[in-house]
Amino acid sequence: MKPDRNDSRVRPFIELMELSGASGTAIDTFLLHLNRLLDGESGVMPRHHISPIESLPDADRFESYGGAGRRALARTVVIKLNGGLGTSMGLEKAKSLLKVRGDCTFLDLIAQQVLALRRRIGVDVPLLLMNSFRTEEDSLRLLADYPDLAVRGLPLSFLQNRVPRVREDGLTPAHDPSDPDRGWCPPGHGDLYSSLLSSGILGSLLDHGYEFAFVSNADNLGASLDNGLLGYMEQTGATFVIEAADRTSADRKGGHLCLLRDGRLALRESAQAPPEELEEFQDIMVFRYFNTNNIWLHLPTLAALLRNHNGVLPLATIVNRKTLDPRDPGSPPVIQLETALGAAASLFSHAAAVRVSRSRFSPVKTTNDLLGVRSDAYQLTPEGHVVLDSSRRQPPTIRLDPRFFKLVESFEERFPHGPPSLVACDSLEVLGDVRFADGVIVRGAAVVEGGDEARIIPCGTVIEGVFHPQQE
């Protein structure tokens, strides 16, 4: 059933989206969540509606599915979610254009991985980027350096939708005359489904004989096609598979997997937890698994689901509260209506979740992560994969003072010669305004105690334990 378009409260939103060129599917999908908000739904998923997951099948034991996975590669497409700008790191272009290893960006590595896979298996596995209107042009310009990447009959990208933000006072469209773009936002990764449909990409993939899609974030360096996981999906008849990993103390505030009371898989994000339940929400011994956002889809089943729901999948609504100007906490409060990619698990009749190792989840969300993957704690394989050095079992824990290292520009200034050696580092904490000279080596658990005045760590310094750098 399509959402009601006749409600006078939704007409201003419809007119905005129609003027922007949004498809009917995109508008109806947004209206579903807007009507829920207008009807007083909070987007909360209380504890009594769900139960924890006790255990999951372990993907490390999927070797027997490898043969089936190899045979299914010819029917599989790789989709990368590439709409993010990395604004929290001070970036203004596609985050995937950030250099992560030498001169290689995320997109370079993604392209190299796909091309290497094709050479190895002799099959042209397609790559598709789901771009936003802010990332499309720059991303395709970079991929022009890989003329063999395009697969005949398919584009390299399609655009995700954008939707109006809602003013919290009055529930009307948000607007900033000084920057009209602030009135719009991406509707979350759950927008993939309607974007695949409205762009015509889903139909094209099915027409070309593709049955499976592996979906992951462009900034997750650990996400790559895996024969065992693909074979597990093909052999067991699963139509939707979520890769889940063990929650650690670092994941307490992130979303987790759970079961609805009828046994269906579900995701619960932090914005969906009632305030009085946040303590249990963050208990990693109760809710043991988080969603890596690596998702495997059976495309014919997705197409059937979309047909059955008139193109509008009834995903759980996430009510995300922000300010109109993210840099100004005093600007008007707004609501972003979002959905999660993995939330569709509850709609697929044969959905599954599997436990994967942490190596399949290596996102770069902060400059802490960026320093790690640029360092010698990781190695770059000939096929474009960034993997932990063979001497390590887990990455170093890095905490850089956000006052001086949060933004990429400031971060680069303080590592003018590249990262220090971290291959023997367990943890590194940097306090204060510190600049690293060339050839610095960090070992074990290290704390660099600087200050508000600029300090420098000299060339060739070995840091172990607490270190006090000298003033510049």
pLDDT of res. 305: 97
The residues facing 400 across adjacent strands are 430
pLDDT in tens, 279-323: 999 999 999 999 999 999 999 999 999 999 999 999 999 898 899
Q: What are phi and psi of 336, to 5 degrees?
A: -105, 125
- Determine the residue type at 115: L
pLDDT of res. 270: 85
Give dist(CA 239, CA 228) in Å, integer: 15
Residues 6+ apart with CB under 8 A from 461: 437, 439, 440, 441, 467
365 is catalytic: yes
pLDDT of res. 85: 83
Cβ atoms of 316 and 43 within 8 Å: the answer is yes
**β pairing state of 421-431 and 397-400:** parallel
pLDDT of res. 1: 47
Least Cα distance to 95 among 109, 107, 103, 110 occurs for 107
Catalytic residue among 2, 99, 365, 406: 365
Q: Which residues of the chain have pLDDT under 70?
A: 1-4
pLDDT of res. 312: 94
pLDDT in tens, 231-259: 999 999 999 999 999 998 778 877 899 99
Give dist(CA 109, CA 286) in Å, integer: 36
Q: Number of helices (H) and strands (E) in the chain: give both, helices first.
A: 13, 26
Q: Which domains are delineated in the chain?
A: 11-360 (3.90.550.10), 367-471 (2.160.10.10)
CA distances from 171 to 13, 16, 346, 358 (A): 10, 15, 29, 41
pLDDT of res. 56: 96
